[in-house]
């Protein structure tokens, strides 16, 4: 983590003492500085480890429980140190909490008070009960885990016991830091050796800071309920200072109280009367009666023997009157081996004593001296000694029959009266010198404040003074104090808006002003406090920034040092006070130095500052905040385009179109879908808002699950629990599924998914654990797991796809390359001549990839590669579930003849032929047109079928007006060879052949769009110098025949399946002009129609020749005429005798003549 970790409580205390000394300016001979590792603050853990051999299956939950228990334990300790524990309602429910509250209340009403050690122990009981009975640390446990508290196991009693599937797997003990490590001293060996279980075992101590030997727990009035934002740090310091202060008072009284003994010069006074003389002197000093029991309490408090005053605690029970350590019965602690274990069943009933009845205890003695001035007692004693004769005389009047031969019995007050004794003394002294009865020392002293918002001010290192004004008259200057020698403390937070601040002088030699309260000017006080705040190290690149004002009242606390025990000031960020930064606002630093035009240099808690800036419309209010844990958003070569916003008003204003590539962008806030916008560092564009959904959309499809970030999403669905211990393998990186993988047991661990789990869409699917960490798992196995569980409205939605086989084909080899969903090659390739693959779900052309399953598992493949196999082999595509959302439609065109009809088949074997009508049927080419294939796939009537490629090419590029959106996969165009001196060809920009240009092929870069030249087409598509044009097919064929060979180019002259071009069948009907024709020979008979004789001679006489077409186009149609009736008659006769493809072929040539 980059922190120094110190788990030794002794070293912690030593470090704390040394740190405090350095903070006060004390120098050491071998002093050196070592900053925190990596610029982080030092942390300490309140955990003392016993033993740990836990297995991973329980570690997360056990440590989560431990950490939660530690948090509650230390919070409970804070409640006691701040006196807030009195407000906890559970005090009335749980016996040990109730007992501690009762004792604490008795301490403030002068009832019997247990010893400090016992009081601290009872405070520990309160902490344990609060953390284990009131709070619920077990709430963090999951699945088959359980937790119990105060479980007796043999001779020991763990404070917390964690069970897993009915087996104890962890013991935890709660104790104070002063007794850390005591589990190793317990009777049971389990604390060090553990229990043997299938899951391992864990033991540890959870500690809280000790209260210390002198912690009195005696505070002032119960503070108001304030459970939020309480300054526990300063509360602890005030308690420690109170102990030091009260110990000094006790020592001072221990020096002053012997004055009541009147030393050896008073041996003339009977010892049994010394107690009464002391009580009279007390009345002289303070005007208050002092009973024998109260004098006893003073002796107990100061440690002075009672016998010094002629008193005897004749109780008959043998107790030592000087022993103020109450010895509780064993039942007070329970019966286990641990002094801090609780046994509620044996809890004694709280002591109940009337408030008015004063018991002689340490607490009673402390209460007696209250705010009294011990110097006045000493002055009273000197005045009494001055009049020894008078004292001797009046003492004789104090004899009491029952006490004549014995010292004072504290149980018998007798008839002595402190007031009466002093009256006798004062009457006699006033006759001698009445002035001796006037004591000049004040009878009381000011009480020092130890409230939680009282702050000590360090002495100045250079000459400085501070003016103090009267508390009830702020304009009246009372005195100036020297800040290099006088100590004072600030009472309450410094309100910058107020002109004056209340302070108190402390540790002053003049009793009259010691602890007296004054007012001082707030501005001057803040100016002085500012001196102790050093300027941050110079940074030439840093530019100070102004903290924006709040639109409504917003409080801010600032500090005089990098802790909460130095004077705290309060500000209103909506006021006219102006704050500027003196250093970068870095979240990893606890405090940031600011400058105020009213308070000068101050420390602000960085978290407070950032929390104030976060909600602003402009990211962080325009402040360049350096966050501690930026969330890196990787952007690869494919880039990320996203919209950024300067302001978040109305969901984002001033949009900026951002484009990132091959870089890392940082989100400056946790990525949480409940937040509409998230701040990012857009590098050159500064800090901007972006929509959280855009970030999540980007990172949710990365190879590393959610970029390795803890991302909160809404609408998550929890995977159903397993009752049989089923596991899912999860891993952080889908491109390395065996790296850092782990098995998640769904019987006791939780996983969540977002959206539908569809195995047709992914090979790996992201899942989230309960700590918001995302992982990948195999989609197939996830679907199978969900399929085996009962479904409900709360169950994740899933879809299991059917598998479509593509069988191997040895006659047409094809290799299929495997990849992942990010395009990275994985798993090599598959030889489709040897392996049968299965398509998962189907093929969607819009996605570009599909998922297949083979012996190598599931992988992505490119759709174009996957389709190449079935398209090349022209199989039945209807079994493959191919989805094309926007297929190209074959345009419709109507002719007077049947040229708009075309045959379709189920596969390459021309099975189940069906005639399609190009003028009316909705026909689509989903995969474009592949001229190299013998047949191309079409989609008609919700089925895939095959159509012969020449028929499609002829229709699309012969009959249909150009401009259709059919994609033709030309692959590489074929270059027409260049041979000088050979035939030229006619080139036209239009298919009609209008305005042709005679071109010398040898001087042109002429390319064919198709590797075949179809003789049946009058014009052929070519590319002439990068422009698509039409070439006269006859010219082109003559040129190619003349320059043969012409590699890569074939001339299509004949129909497929080796059929004769114009072989006519027998027609015996009288209306025909054709006779029986056999072989390739001529007709054996003729009719009376001379026109058809020419047809017989020129067309039916043998192999089809171009001269036949020339005859038809020229001589024949000139002789025949061009009336519609004659042309239609010719069409009908030709259509009857010619195959469909050659009928169309002839019509191409005849169209221009018509």
> Over 50: is that where the pLDDT of 1066 sits?
no
Query: 1148 exposed, middle or buried (CB, 10 Å; 0-12, 13-18, 19+)?
Result: buried
Residues in the chain, how many?
Answer: 1154
> Do both 749 and 878 map to the same domain?
no
Q: What is the mean pLDDT of residues 276-283?
A: 90
Q: What is the pLDDT of residue 391?
A: 87
> Over 50: is that where the pLDDT of 204 sits?
yes
> Do both 264 and 393 map to the same domain?
yes
Instruction: List pLDDT tens digits, range 87-128.
Output: 788 888 888 888 888 777 666 555 444 556 667 788 888 999
Lowest mean pLDDT among 294-303, 523-532, 637-646, 1057-1066: 1057-1066
Would the CA dihedral through 344, 349, 351, 354 be positive or negative?
A: positive
Q: What is the pLDDT of residue 347?
A: 36
- List 312's β-bridge partners, or say none: 409
Here the CATH number for the domain that contains residue 865 is 2.30.30
Of 531, 556, 576, the residue that ends a domain is 531
Q: Yes or no: say if 495 and 426 are a contact pair by the CB < 8 Å rule.
A: no
Q: What is the pLDDT of residue 409?
A: 60
Q: What is the pLDDT of residue 493?
A: 94
> Do both 740 and 686 map to the same domain?
no
Q: What is the pLDDT of residue 510?
A: 86
> Do both 265 and 391 map to the same domain?
yes
Instruction: List pLDDT tens digits, range 715-742.
Output: 999 999 998 999 999 999 999 999 999 9
Specify if 436 maps to a domain.
no
> Over 60: is that where the pLDDT of 334 sits?
no
Would the CA dihedral through 280, 281, 285, 288 be positive or negative?
A: negative
Cα 1097 to Cα 1115: distance, rounded to the nearest angstrom: 13
Instruction: Collapse the DSSP code of 47 into the 3-class scheme (helix H, G, I; strand E, B; otherwise coil) and give the result.
Output: strand
> Over 80: is that where the pLDDT of 403 sits?
no
> Do both 2 and 90 map to the same domain?
no
Of residues 1013 and 517, the one with the higher pLDDT is: 517
Of 484, 511, 531, the residue that ends a domain is 531
Q: What is the mean pLDDT of residues 774-802?
A: 93
> Do both 1023 and 985 map to the same domain?
yes
> Over 70: is that where the pLDDT of 666 sits?
yes
Q: What is the pLDDT of residue 137?
A: 92
Say if residue 268 is preceded by a cis peptide, omega within 30 of 0. no
Nearest Cα residue to 913 out of 903, 928, 921: 903
Q: What is the mean pLDDT of residues 560-573?
A: 95
Query: 127 exposed, middle or buried (CB, 10 Å; 0-12, 13-18, 19+)?
Result: buried
> Over 90: is that where the pLDDT of 695 sits?
yes
**Rg of the Cα atoms in the chain:** 52
> Over 90: is that where the pLDDT of 324 sits?
no
> Over 90: is that where the pLDDT of 709 sits?
yes
- Neighbouring CB atoms inside 10 A of 848's CB total 11
> Do both 61 and 150 map to the same domain?
yes
Looking up tokens 């011990």, which residue turns up? 374
Instruction: List pLDDT tens digits, range 893-939.
Output: 766 555 577 889 987 677 889 999 888 899 998 888 877 777 889 99
Lowest mean pLDDT among 37-46, 764-773, 805-814: 37-46
> Do both 709 and 733 map to the same domain?
yes
Number of domains in the chain: 10
Q: What is the pLDDT of residue 359?
A: 60
1017 CA to centre of own chain = 69
> Over 80: is that where the pLDDT of 222 sits?
no
Specify if 1134 maps to a domain.
yes
Specify if 219 maps to a domain.
no
At 807, which helix (H) or strand (E)?
Answer: none
Q: Mind giving me the DSSP string for 845-881?
A: TTTSEEEEEETTEEEEEEHHHHHHHHHHHT--GGGS-
Q: What is the pLDDT of residue 762?
A: 94
Q: What is the mean pLDDT of residues 684-688?
A: 87
Q: What is the mean pLDDT of residues 1029-1049?
A: 84
Lowest mean pLDDT among 573-577, 625-629, 630-634, 1139-1143: 1139-1143
Long-range contacts of 345-350 (CB under 8 A, 24+ apart): 347/95, 347/96, 347/99, 350/98, 350/99, 350/102, 350/103, 350/106
Q: What is the pLDDT of residue 1015?
A: 79
Q: What is the pLDDT of residue 11?
A: 45
Q: What is the mean pLDDT of residues 55-80?
A: 91
Looking up tokens 């969540």, which residue turns up? 752
Per the structure, the complete domain to which residue 1134 belongs is given by 1060-1151
Q: Yes or no: say if 982 and 1043 are a contact pair by the CB < 8 Å rule.
A: yes
> Over 80: is that where the pLDDT of 840 sits?
yes
Would the CA dihedral through 1071, 1072, 1073, 1074 be positive or negative?
A: negative
Q: Yes or no: say if 591 and 558 are a contact pair by the CB < 8 Å rule.
A: no
> Do both 608 and 640 map to the same domain?
no
Q: Mind giving me the DSSP string for 720-756?
A: PPPSS--EEEEBSBTT-TTSS-EEEETTT---EEES-
> Do both 1147 and 1066 map to the same domain?
yes
Q: What is the pLDDT of residue 896?
A: 57
Specify if 606 maps to a domain.
yes
Q: What is the pLDDT of residue 698?
A: 94
Q: What is the pLDDT of residue 575?
A: 95
Cα 33 to Cα 21: distance, rounded to the nearest angstrom: 14
Of 833, 860, 883, the residue that ends a domain is 883
> Do both 152 and 66 map to the same domain?
yes
Specify if 341 maps to a domain.
no
> Do both 1089 and 1134 map to the same domain?
yes
Specify if 225 maps to a domain.
no
Specify if 516 maps to a domain.
yes
Looking up tokens 């493809």, which residue turns up? 1141
Specify if 388 maps to a domain.
yes
> Over 70: is that where the pLDDT of 350 sits?
no
Instruction: List pLDDT tens digits, range 137-194.
Output: 999 998 789 999 878 887 788 889 999 999 999 999 998 887 776 666 665 678 888 8
The percentage of the chain sitting over the pLDDT mark of 90, rounded to a whole number, equals 37
Instruction: List pLDDT tens digits, range 441-464.
Output: 999 999 999 888 899 999 999 999
DSSP letter (8 states) at residue 716: E
């Amino acid at each position: 983590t980059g922190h120094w970790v110190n788990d030794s409580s002794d070293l912690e205390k030593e470090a704390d003492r040394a740190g405090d000394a350095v903070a006060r300016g004390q120098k050491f001979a071998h002093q050196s500085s070592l900053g925190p590792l990596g610029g982080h603050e030092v942390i300490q853990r309140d955990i003392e480890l016993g033993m740990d051999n836990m297995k991973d299956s329980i570690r997360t939950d056990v440590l989560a429980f431990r950490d939660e228990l530690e948090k509650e334990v230390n919070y409970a300790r804070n409640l006691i140190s701040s006196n807030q524990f009195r407000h906890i309602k559970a005090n009335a429910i749980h016996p040990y909490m109730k007992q501690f509250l009762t004792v604490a209340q008795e301490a403030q009403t002068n009832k019997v008070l247990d010893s400090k050690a016992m009081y601290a122990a009872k405070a520990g009981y309160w902490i344990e009960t609060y953390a284990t009975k009131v709070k619920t640390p077990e709430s963090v446990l999951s699945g088959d885990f359980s937790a119990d508290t105060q479980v007796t196991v043999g001779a020991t009693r763990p404070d917390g016991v964690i069970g897993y599937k009915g087996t104890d797997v962890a013991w935890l003990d709660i104790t104070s830091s002063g007794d850390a490590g005591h589990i190793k001293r317990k009777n049971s060996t389990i604390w060090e050796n553990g229990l043997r279980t299938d899951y391992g075992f864990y033991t540890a101590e959870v500690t809280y800071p000790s209260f210390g030997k002198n912690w009195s727990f005696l505070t002032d009035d119960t503070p108001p309920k304030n459970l939020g934002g309480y300054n526990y740090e300063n509360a602890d310091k005030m308690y420690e200072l109170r102990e030091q202060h009260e110990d000094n008072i006790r020592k001072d009284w221990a020096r002053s109280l012997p004055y009541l003994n009147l030393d050896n010069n008073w041996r003339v006074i009977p010892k049994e009367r010394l107690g009464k003389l002391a009580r009279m002197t007390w009345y002289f000093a303070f005007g208050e009666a002092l009973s024998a029991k109260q004098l006893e309490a003073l002796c107990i408090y100061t440690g002075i023997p009672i016998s010094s005053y002629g008193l005897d605690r004749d109780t008959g029970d043998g107790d030592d009157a000087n022993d103020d350590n109450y010895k509780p019965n064993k039942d007070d602690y329970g019966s286990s081996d641990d002094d801090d274990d609780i046994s509620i069943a044996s809890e004694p009933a709280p002591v109940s004593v009337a408030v008015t009845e004063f018991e002689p205890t340490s607490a009673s003695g402390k209460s007696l001296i209250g705010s009294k001035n011990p110097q006045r007692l000493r002055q009273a004693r000197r005045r009494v000694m001055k009049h020894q004769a008078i004292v001797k005389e009046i003492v004789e009047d104090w004899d009491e029959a029952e006490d004549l031969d014995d010292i004072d019995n504290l149980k018998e007050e007798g008839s002595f009266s402190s007031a009466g004794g002093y009256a006798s003394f004062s009457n006699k002294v006033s006759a001698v010198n009445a002035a001796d009865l006037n004591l000049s020392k004040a009878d009381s002293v000011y009480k020092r404040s130890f409230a939680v918002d009282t702050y000590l001010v360090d002495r100045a290192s250079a000459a400085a003074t501070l003016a103090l004004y009267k508390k009830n008259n702020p304009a009246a200057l009372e005195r100036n104090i020297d800040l290099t020698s006088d100590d004072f403390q600030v009472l309450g937070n410094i309100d910058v808006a107020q002109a004056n601040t209340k302070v108190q002088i402390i540790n002053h030699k003049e009793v009259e002003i010691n602890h007296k309260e004054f007012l001082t000017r707030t501005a001057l006080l803040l100016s002085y406090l500012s001196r102790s705040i050093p300027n941050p190290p110079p940074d030439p690149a840093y530019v100070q920034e102004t903290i924006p004002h709040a639109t409504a009242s917003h409080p801010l606390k600032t500090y005089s040092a990098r802790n909460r025990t130095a004077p705290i000031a309060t500000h209103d960020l909506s006021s006219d006070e102006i704050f500027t930064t003196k250093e970068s606002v870095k979240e990893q630093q606890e405090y940031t130095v600011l400058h105020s035009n009213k308070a000068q240099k101050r420390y602000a808690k960085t978290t407070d500052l950032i929390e104030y800036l976060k909600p602003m419309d402009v990211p962080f209010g325009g402040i360049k905040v350096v966050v501690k844990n930026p969330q890196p958003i990787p952007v690869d070569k494919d880039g990320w385009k996203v919209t950024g916003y300067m302001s978040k008003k109305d969901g984002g204003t001033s949009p900026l179109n951002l484009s990132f590539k091959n870089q890392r962008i940082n989100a400056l806030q946790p990525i949480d879908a409940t937040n509409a916008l998230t701040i990012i560092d857009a590098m050159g564009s500064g800090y901007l808002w972006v929509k959280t959904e855009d970030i999540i959309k980007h990172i949710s499809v990365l190879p590393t699950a959610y970029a390795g970030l803890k991302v909160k999403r809404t609408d998550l669905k929890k995977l159903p629990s397993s009752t049989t211990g089923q596991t899912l393998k999860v891993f952080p990186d889908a491109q390395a599924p065996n790296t850092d993988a782990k098995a998640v047991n769904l019987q006791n661990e939780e996983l969540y998914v977002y959206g539908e789990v569809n195995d047709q869409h992914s090979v790996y699917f992201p899942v989230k654990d309960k700590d918001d960490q995302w992982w990948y798992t195999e989609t197939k196995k996830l679907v199978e797991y969900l399929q085996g569980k009962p479904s409900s409205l709360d169950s994740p939605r899933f879809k299991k796809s059917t598998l479509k086989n593509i069988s191997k084909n040895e006659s047409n080899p094809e290799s299929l390359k495997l990849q992942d969903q990010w395009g990275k090659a994985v798993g090599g390739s598959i030889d489709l001549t040897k392996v049968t693959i299965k398509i998962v779900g189907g093929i969607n052309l819009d996605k570009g990839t599909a998922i297949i399953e083979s012996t190598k598992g599931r992988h992505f493949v490119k759709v174009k590669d996957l389709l190449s196999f079935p398209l090349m082999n022209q199989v039945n595509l209807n079994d493959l579930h191919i989805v094309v959302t926007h297929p190209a439609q074959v345009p419709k065109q109507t002719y007077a003849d049947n040229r708009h009809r075309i045959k379709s088949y189920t596969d390459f074997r021309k099975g189940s032929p069906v005639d399609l009508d190009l003028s009316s049927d909705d026909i689509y080419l989903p995969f474009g047109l592949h001229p190299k294939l013998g047949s191309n796939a079409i989609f008609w009537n919700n089925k895939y079928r095959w159509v012969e490629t020449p028929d499609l090419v002829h229709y699309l590029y012969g009959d249909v007006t150009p401009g259709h959106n059919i994609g033709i996969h030309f692959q590489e165009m074929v270059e027409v060879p260049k041979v000088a001196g050979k035939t030229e060809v006619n080139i036209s920009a239009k298919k009609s052949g209008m305005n042709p240009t005679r071109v010398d092929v040898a001087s042109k870069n002429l390319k064919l769009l198709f590797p075949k030249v179809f003789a049946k087409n009058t014009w052929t598509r070519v590319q002439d110098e990068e422009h698509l044009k039409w070439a006269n097919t006859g010219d082109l064929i003559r040129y190619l025949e003349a320059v043969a060979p012409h590699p890569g180019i074939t001339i299509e002259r004949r129909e497929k399946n080796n059929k004769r071009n114009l072989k006519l069948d027998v027609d015996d009907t009288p209306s025909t002009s054709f006779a029986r024709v056999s072989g390739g020979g001529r007709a054996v008979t003729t009719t009376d129609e001379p026109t058809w004789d020419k047809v017989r001679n020129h067309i039916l006489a043998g192999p089809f020749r171009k001269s036949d077409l020339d005859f038809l186009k020229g001589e024949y149609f000139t002789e025949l005429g061009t009336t519609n009736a004659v042309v239609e008659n010719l069409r009908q006769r030709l259509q009857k005798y010619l195959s469909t493809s050659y009928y169309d072929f002839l019509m191409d040539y005849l169209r221009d003549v018509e």
